[in-house]
A and B are shown apart, each in its own frame.
Chain A
């Protein structure tokens, strides 16, 4: 194992991952603040007015990245769940647990901004369209995972039961993604398409990508700081936690 160029399993132990997460978290947080700041400036002051939807379309710069993140975080959770079930690594399950609230938040944000966008464009806060419904199911899946995890006291069982639930729910992700293509419903088709390029001007596309990267950095920052708390809580009786310098009170 030791003569490998890089040992991938090195960070599979909480004791080594904890300081790494502590180093990543502030960096990611700053990147997130800067990118979201730039993205918000571009989306409010630089991006041109849409010829069809007027000023109201500007919510796209939050709505679409949030929807991307809501699906992407779920896939990342599924990835960690598979790793956790395969290799029985503790950090994988902790990462799944740490990502879930952020994913649920982005799902809620996507639905909420969608409602604000839908009111001026469609004249309704909510319609029972395939994409909206499947995104709502995604929110239920996140909440179900969090509820299941928190109602099992035994961490090991909670991790593995949660992993199975996440993997069962993965079937919903392609349904959300392709819902606008499979069913011809009210929700507009995607504006960014890898095959035909985008249906927007370059500046709009860049703004959206910057916002997406900002949200990405935000997710990393929150997940990393949350995973640190989870580690401390779960491993509070271990040797490495008791030796952490930040946990030593100054007067002892």
Chain B
């Protein structure tokens, strides 16, 4: 079973490396959204420090949501997904593998780039570290939750807009605790409680969302 997991992750990573533009689009979307806010609000550093956690998290949410489009759709259109569902291995493992690969190419780059962007907002080292930690815990949860929406809207007209309507409300808890942790660190309260909640969300979604995603995939690929 573990072999299947590794095989799926490998295959998806290889495919992503052959189509690098998809990966980079998400990353640049994140960068550009974050760069737009100081231009719109004005370069007042004290204001920027205050709004940075929210902006970073909202940008991460949007970037993660945009990337969902590529999670299953290519495999769905060329029929690979149907073949995968026919294999005797549990779909649960398949979903986990695909989501992990997806997170590695779309989520992890955001996490790694966030401290650099954080410097534009004059965040302290401690706040940057918390931001990275929360994004590291939070973005996999986003990918896992978003996979349900991506699976439900496979092959629908206007699927992209629909995904945002389905997935963004479910993203809200991650946003609240993720941004809350960074904000608490900035204001000196310490964000440990928020980070623990974020970890709990990640663990819960790791266990529960693949079940819903598998069921949704089976319905969509019927």
A contact set with B: CB distance below 8 Å: 85, 133, 137, 140-141, 143-144, 147-148, 151-152, 157, 160-161, 164-165, 167-169
Report the nearest B residue to A134, measured CB to CB: B172
A144-B165, A157-B219 are contacts. A151–B172 as well, Cβ < 8 Å? no
CA distance A160 to B214 in the complex (A): 13
- B3-11, B69-77, B124-132, B154-162: which lies at the interface: B154-162
A137-B169, A137-B172, A140-B169 are contacts. A164–B148 as well, Cβ < 8 Å? yes
- For chain B, give the interface size range: 10 to 19
> Closest CB-CB distance, A171 to chain B, in whole Å?
9
Q: List residues of chain A with CB within 8 A of the CB of B153.
A: 148, 151
Query: In the complex the two chains form, is A152's CB within 8 Å of B156's CB?
Result: yes
The 3 closest A-B pairs by CB, nearest first: A140-B169, A160-B219, A144-B166
Query: In the complex the two chains form, is B162's CB within 8 Å of A168's CB?
Result: no
A148-B152, A148-B162, A151-B162 are contacts. A161–B219 as well, Cβ < 8 Å? yes
Q: List residues of chain B with CB within 8 A of the CB of A151.
A: 153, 156-158, 162
Query: In the complex the two chains form, is B222's CB within 8 Å of A157's CB?
Result: yes
CA distance A85 to B215 in the complex (A): 10
A148-B153, A164-B212 are contacts. A157–B220 as well, Cβ < 8 Å? yes
CA distance A157 to B218 in the complex (A): 10
A147-B162, A161-B216 are contacts. A168–B148 as well, Cβ < 8 Å? yes
Q: List residues of chain A with CB within 8 A of the CB of B170.
A: 168-169
Report the nearest A residue to B173, measured CB to CB: A175
CA distance A183 to B200 in the complex (A): 17
Contact string against A for B residues 185-222, beta-carbon threshold 8 Å, 1 for contact and 0 otherwise: 00000000000000000000000000010011001101
Q: List residues of chain B with CB within 8 A of the CB of A169.
A: 169-170
Q: List residues of chain B with CB within 8 A of the CB of A152.
A: 156
CA distance A157 to B221 in the complex (A): 10
Contact of B166 among A133, A148, A157, A160 (CB under 8 A): A148
Query: What are 15 A-B pairs at a CB distance below 8 A?
Result: A85-B215, A137-B169, A140-B165, A140-B168, A144-B165, A144-B166, A147-B165, A147-B166, A148-B152, A151-B158, A157-B219, A161-B219, A167-B212, A168-B148, A169-B169
Report the nearest A residue to B170, measured CB to CB: A168
Q: List residues of chain B with CB within 8 A of the CB of A168.
A: 148, 170, 212
> Closest CB-CB distance, B194 to chain A, in whole Å?
13
Query: In the complex the two chains form, is A133's CB within 8 Å of B169's CB?
Result: no
Q: List residues of chain A with CB within 8 A of the CB of B215.
A: 85, 164
Query: In the complex the two chains form, is B169's CB within 8 Å of A164's CB?
Result: no
> Closest CB-CB distance, B155 to chain A, in whole Å?
10
CA distance A152 to B170 in the complex (A): 21
CA distance A141 to B153 in the complex (A): 15
> Closest CB-CB distance, B180 to chain A, in whole Å?
12
Query: In the complex the two chains form, is B220's CB within 8 Å of A161's CB?
Result: yes
CA distance A160 to B212 in the complex (A): 12
Query: In the complex the two chains form, is B152's CB within 8 Å of A165's CB?
Result: yes
CA distance A37 to B130 in the complex (A): 56
With A141-B169, A157-B222, A164-B212 already in contact, 11 other A-B pairs whose C-beta atoms are closer than 8 Å: A144-B166, A147-B162, A148-B166, A151-B153, A151-B156, A151-B157, A152-B156, A160-B219, A161-B220, A165-B152, A168-B148
